[in-house]
Amino acid sequence: MSLLTDFRDFINRGNVMDLAVGVIIGAAFGKIVSSLVGDILMPAIGVLMGGVNFSGLSVTIGGAVLKYGSFVQSVIDFVIIAACVFLLVRAVTALQKPKAAAAPPAQERLLTEIRDLLRARS
């Protein structure tokens, strides 16, 4: 097979296309959640905490500036984003129709009938 044929077969696999769609949707969703966190939730949390701006918190040790406020901000952002993703996945799962139980194979049904007949005889 040629390189182009192998590449075409690789791209046409369902997993690759699903992954690509997931990455694109995830990036777009990430922007929405980042805006929610940065533009709406964090200013509200700052007001509730007396105007504290986490990203400006730092300490100087020797010649190094440790910006622990940025770290705290990132942790809070992560927790909020994780909660949003959890709620989104939970909502999507709730909207999905429950899958019907697959019918057992014919051989299994026959064996079940034989078992039931033997039980009835005893």
Could you report the per-residue pLDDT of 16-68, keeping only the tens digit for each? Answer: 777 888 888 888 888 887 888 778 887 887 788 777 677 778 889 988 988 88
Give pTM, 2 decimals: 0.51
Task: With beta carbons less than 8 A apart as the criterion, state whether 70 and 55 touch.
Answer: yes
The helix or strand, by DSSP H or E, that contains position 19, with its residue range, turns out to be helix 14-35
Beta strands at 59-61 and 64-66: parallel, antiparallel or unpaired:
antiparallel
Q: What are the structural domains, with CATH classification, of the chain?
A: 3-99 (1.10.1200.120)
